[in-house]
Amino acid sequence: MYSEKVMDHFQNPRNVGEIENASGVGTVGNAKCGDIMRMYLDIDNDGIIQDCKFKTFGCGAAVATSSMATELVKGKTVQEALEITNKAVMEALDGLPPVKVHCSLLAEEAIHAALWDYAQKH
Amino acid sequence: MYSEKVMDHFQNPRNVGEIENASGVGTVGNAKCGDIMRMYLDIDNDGIIQDCKFKTFGCGAAVATSSMATELVKGKTVQEALEITNKAVMEALDGLPPVKVHCSLLAEEAIHAALWDYAQKH
Ligand code: FES
């Protein structure tokens, strides 16, 4: 049912945690399943994302997509990060079953919310 | 949104793992969210549940209810364990939001499936 990459990122999630004094923080909820996700971004003066961490109450698919998404945004500019879609994250994980596609939206939306929070502060 | 007990069992889940040569193993899926859960029971010759472990791909509510359920079944007889409902598990956790009640069914069903597996072998 799940790819090896999904199981790897679920069992060994990258970048779980919080960032103190983060440049941007985004919290989103998923109406379909009631889960929540929070993303922390550390963005330097050149607008490069230096660090990214997340916390979630979501399922394995939410954990795996968030873990992969944090890896994808690190080192990117704000503009590049805005262009990372849940589709790209799912592709990087070799796919997700259809019933789990909505879980992958949590990561995309939380990153957007954190970037929006950053933009409002700058 | 979540009680302190839910957050405690989510963040420090009890009895996560597998039992080698378990007396009974039950694997169930949740059609609503596509999540899966596996329960392992170690039952002694007097029919007492000595150990119980679980693994899940489910969300935080699934983790918390399974963690609490494993604590509730330990030391119980097979008959007593069959009578533990998801309602009892939720009450022990001081409740769950309505959108998460279906997650608590995973633990109940997985314990029943593991007890059924045990009964078939004996
Ligand atoms: S949403 Fe699937 S177990 Fe909770």
Name the band, by pLDDT with cuts 50, 70 and 90, for residue A85: very high
Q: Which long-range contacts (CB under 8 A, 24 or more apart) does A72-79 make?
A: A73/A41, A73/A49, A73/A111, A74/A15, A74/A49, A74/A50, A75/A48, A75/A49, A75/A50, A76/A48, A76/A49, A77/A47, A77/A48, A77/A49, A78/A43, A78/A47, A78/A49, A78/A115, A78/A118, A78/A119, A79/A47
Residue B30: what pLDDT? 84
- For residue A33, pLDDT over 90 is answered with no
Please report where in the chains the tokens 């956790």 appear, as a residue: B93
Name the band, by pLDDT with cuts 50, 70 and 90, for residue A67: very high
Residue range A26-51: average pLDDT?
91
A chain contacts of residue B34, beta-carbon cutoff 8 Å: 61, 97, 99-100
Residue A29: what pLDDT? 87
Name the band, by pLDDT with cuts 50, 70 and 90, for residue A12: very high
Catalytic residue (one of A49, A89, A103, A113):
A103
Kindly give the confidence (pLDDT) of every residue in chain B, 122 residues in length, as a single tens digit, with 9 standing for 90 and above: 899 999 999 999 999 999 999 999 999 998 778 889 999 999 999 999 999 999 999 999 999 999 999 999 999 999 999 999 999 999 999 999 998 999 999 999 999 999 999 999 98
- Give the ligand 1 atom nearest the CA of A58: 1
DSSP A1: -
Name the band, by pLDDT with cuts 50, 70 and 90, for residue A108: very high
How many CA atoms, within 13 angstroms, populate the side-chain half-sphere of residue A121? 17
Q: Are B39 and B51 in contact (CB under 8 A)?
A: no
| Mean of all residue pLDDT scores within chain A | 94
- For residue A34, pLDDT over 80 is answered with no
B50: Cα separation from own chain's centroid? 14
Three-class secondary structure assignment of A94-115: CCCCHHHHHHHHHHHHHHHHHH
CA distance B65 to chain A (A): 13
Residue B1: what pLDDT? 80
